[in-house]
A and B are shown apart, each in its own frame.
Chain A
Amino acid sequence: MAQTRIVLFVLGLGLAGTASAQDDADLATGEQVYNTWCVHCHDDNRPWSGGGTQALEVKYQGELPADLRERTDMSADLITAYVRDGLYRMPPFRLTEIGEEDMRALAAYLTRNNPE
């Protein structure tokens, strides 16, 4: 996010302020969705975690970060597919739980550090 803002600033775009406020709002919503639906399993691996982070630690053996919030390799589509299909004991999330807009915000949040 910080990076995006700097680029926009340098280019001096008139709309930079609005676009960035919109992005910020999306990321804030995305983080909120994450904290409602995901963090209980995908956290920093505390003893009471539901074990998503531990599972990814074992799956990737350090090749990728185990905490989803640190990943930079997943596309929004891939994240959406996992959330809607489920994987192993992670069940699918329904539209009454995470609506389409919330899903977009969640994906934006989890891809915020992806390389361009």
Chain B
Amino acid sequence: MAIPPGVSESDFNQALQEFENIVGSEWVFTSPEAVALYRDTYSPFYDDEGERLTSAAIAPDSSEQVQAIMRVCNRYRIPIYPISTGKNLGYGSAAPAYSGSMVLDLKRMDRILEVDTRNHTVLVEPGVTFFQIYQHFRDNNLELDLDIPDPAWGSLIGHALDRGVAHTYTDFGRDRFSTGCGMEVVLANGDLVRTGTGALETSTMWQHYRYGVGPYVDGIFSQSNFGVVTKMGFWIRPRHRGFRTGYVHVPNYEDLEALIDVECELSNSGINNGMTFFGSDVMSPFAQDPEIRAQLPSSGPLDLAAIDRLRQERNTGFWWAKLDFNAPLKVSAAQWEHCQDVYSAAIPGCWFEEEIALEFPLSEEEKARLNTPGNPEMVHLGMPSLARFRGGNRSPRNPDPDWGHLWFAPLIPKRAEDIFRAQRVFDQAYRERGIDAGVTYFARIPMFWHARVGVFLASLSVGRDIEANRKSREDFLYLVQVAADNGWQEYRTPSFFQTEVMDMTCGFNDHALMRFYETLKDAVDPNGILSAGRYGIWPEHLREEKAPWHKRG
């Protein structure tokens, strides 16, 4: 049996006894086999020095049990790391940021507590997954939907607390945390708080008004370690009625600026209300045309004249924007028409192509076509799947797959000049590090999950070759530093690198923000038991040992 760092064996045995009294012996896991299930099989530290491991796990079934567990942890100074569904693959999975911590596995708390069908809110526990809530709406004929991230086996709460993203309507969970409304939190010291209007004992609108009265604190429970969220409310949406996709093509390289600026105008005014994708007709990473591929340098500057010749020969555009509309078709017909008017006036020579118009419920034939070329993916319609895994798994194009990846996820402003600069900067950084980008960076455009920034998402490969994994680790830290030097910050980052990333990207005024986080940490978690090291926030007794910002001293 493994023992958490800083805890004596006799104290730990005593604590385990108390844990069993709280949750029942069935739900305290100490055997090596059971504990190994919390390993991060996607970790670039896998089987290497520095892998974050779990010592034991405990799975409560209620907020009261979580409170009791926090009290025991405080009594014996046991480090503990809560997860909701632990599917944070590519960002650390279920493994704790501080190796040797116990895991507090909240999967058993999987109740959908409240659903407001009239004003579109839910209140859920941490174990509730996207698959589950989607099925719940269908099974009970509830006319409701929500935005769903690629892997639907994750939880609303875990997704929100790591500030995850999804794919449909602007304000309905594409930026999950922003749709949160009201939390119940067991603080690290064991106290139970309800935020927002939940602070009123007789509250009738916990899921309907976010702020309550006084300071608004929900944000400090995301990407942090001040409390265990045991319930959270979300704003969801009425059932999807229709979906339409239209492409705008523009002829010239420089047209990207207007293509994006007009899209900002349209989406920030709510007219184009889905998630827009941008790409290149000639340089799309997925362009299969060998002649075009030959023109795409794997390194060095782009031969724009040559690419433009090919573009003209093929009579294609240079860039495209794929506009999605989440609205009944009658409404989206007018939205799409308006978008075309605005684009026509702004960009000479642009043209349009409507891809698809669907009304819900979909017919069986329409369903069968989803995720095939020319048709939307399920996630774009708010339908759950695990389809995104397909690309990384063994396939005819990928006969020798890797075991996982870590996500490099820098934010870039939603402006053409920044995107062009990011393409150049990362192309060069990749070449310097000898990273195989697969395709040139010059065609890449960030993913615009958020309204005013894009994520220049890239994955670095993880396998079972320790040397190769070490290189991925070094590459990752190098890229984060390059991004920071250019004014670009990660939107989210793997648990095993959070200390370094916070150090590299939160330095303003001698790391004043980190100092503030540490002040909060010391106040709410004086024994430093909860999720030590998450997002670089260490309790006082570990700060020197875990160093950066910047190397302390």
A residues bordering B, Cβ < 8 Å? 36, 40-41, 46-52, 54-56, 58-59, 84, 86, 88-89, 91-97
Contact = CB atoms under 8 A, between A and B. Distances in A.
Contacts of A96: 27, 59, 105, 107-108
A95 B401 contact: no
Contacts of B105: 94, 96
Interface string B9-50: 000000000000000000101000110111101100000000
Nearest to B386: A50
Interface stretch (B189-197, B389-397, B411-419): B389-397
B65 interface: no
26 contacts: A40-B385, A40-B386, A41-B393, A48-B387, A49-B387, A51-B393, A52-B393, A84-B33, A84-B37, A88-B402, A89-B89, A89-B393, A89-B401, A89-B402, A89-B403, A89-B404, A91-B41, A92-B39, A92-B41, A94-B38, A95-B29, A95-B59, A96-B105, A96-B107, A96-B108, A97-B107
Contacts of A41: 386, 389, 393
Contacts of B370: 47-48
B153 A40 contact: yes
B149 interface: no
Nearest to A37: B153
Interface in B448-462: none
B393 A92 contact: no
A91 B38 CA distance: 10
A27 B34 CA distance: 25
B86 interface: yes
B42 to A, nearest CB: 7
Contacts of A52: 393
B215 interface: no
Contacts of A55: 393-395, 401
B202 interface: no
A62 to B, nearest CB: 13
Contacts of A97: 107
B141 interface: no
B371 interface: yes
A54 B93 contact: no
Contact of A58 (B41, B368, B372, B399): B399
Contacts of B388: 50
A94 B54 CA distance: 13
Interface of B: 27, 29, 33-34, 36-39, 41-42, 59, 86-87, 89, 93-94, 105, 107-108, 131, 152-153, 368, 370-372, 377-378, 385-396, 399, 401-404
B484 to A, nearest CB: 29
Given A94-B86, A94-B105, A96-B108, A50 B389 contact: yes
Contacts of B372: 47
Contacts of A95: 29, 34, 37, 59
Contacts of B368: 46
Given A47-B371, A51-B394, A89-B389, 4 more contacts: A50-B393, A55-B401, A94-B94, A96-B59
Contacts of A36: 131
Contacts of A50: 385-390, 393
Nearest to B40: A91
A54 B371 CA distance: 15
A35 to B, nearest CB: 10
A104 to B, nearest CB: 15
Contacts of A51: 389-395
A92 B34 CA distance: 11
Nearest to B106: A96
Given A40-B385, A54-B395, A48 B107 contact: no
Contacts of A86: 41
Nearest to A47: B371
Nearest to B110: A96
Nearest to B89: A91
A58 B396 contact: yes
Contacts of B131: 36, 40
Nearest to B393: A51
Nearest to B375: A47
B394 A59 contact: yes
A100 B399 CA distance: 33
Contacts of A59: 394
Q: Which 9 pairs across A and B sit closest by C-beta, in order of nearness?
A: A51-B390, A50-B386, A55-B394, A51-B393, A47-B371, A96-B107, A50-B389, A40-B386, A48-B371
Contacts of B39: 92
Contacts of B33: 84
A93 B393 CA distance: 18
A24 B393 CA distance: 33
Residue among A84, A86, A94 with max Cβ neighbours from chain B (10 Å) = A94
B158 to A, nearest CB: 13
Residue among A47, A55, A58 with max Cβ neighbours from chain B (10 Å) = A47
A48 B151 CA distance: 11
Contacts of A40: 131, 152-153, 385-386
Contacts of B386: 40-41, 49-50
Residue among B94, B393, B396 with max Cβ neighbours from chain A (10 Å) = B393
A54 B397 CA distance: 11
A88 B385 contact: no
B24 to A, nearest CB: 13
